[in-house]
Structure 1
Amino acid sequence: MRRSEFLRAVDAEFDGRASSLVNDLVLATLSGRTASQALDDGVPPREIWLALCAAADVPLERRHGAGRLEPRRG
């Protein structure tokens, strides 16, 4: 997952709460950092996405492949 895919996935999943969650929600699984801080620190966007999903109770079926413009080809 690229940074741009991460940002698209967050916008799609959380809509109006996206900015607040990325900038304000402290994630214990990311060493007490926000998603924004973790991105700036070089944490892989996929790891941040999964941590954010877990904290926000996003169902498993909506966590995989999110943010991609086109589905992966088999």
Structure 2
Amino acid sequence: MSETELWRRMAEHLPPGRLEVWADSVVLRELDGRTVQEALAAGVAVQRIWRAVWAMLELPESYR
């Protein structure tokens, strides 16, 4: 998965205009206490970031 795909998927499930704020402020335990933005900057695999977002948003298995 590319970073562009990650952002597209997150945009599908977060309210319009809130994506960037959410990605910069919500700390995800699965990312070792990082936000999405921090994880990307640290070089965490995009697929791992998506799985953490998927779990936090409690999305159906079909979106995994």
TM-score, normalised to structure 1's length?
Answer: 0.76
Distance 1:61 1:15 in 2: 20
Distance 2:58 2:21 in 1: 16
Give the structure, 1 or 2, with the largest relative contact order (CA under 8 Å, sep 6 or more): 1
Aligned residues: 63
Flag as ranges the 4+ runs of structure 1 deviating above 3 A: none
What's the CA shift for 1:44? 0.8
Find the residue that maps to 1:32 and give its secondary structure: coil
Match of 2:40 in 1: 39
Which of the two has greater strand per residue? 1
Structure 2's unaligned 5+ residue stretches are none
Distance 1:21 1:59 in 2: 20
Question: CA-atom RMSD, angstroms?
Answer: 1.2
Structure 1's unaligned 5+ residue stretches are 64-74
Letter aligned with residue 54 of structure 2 = C
Q: Percent identity?
A: 32
Distance 2:24 2:49 in 1: 12
Larger Rg: 1
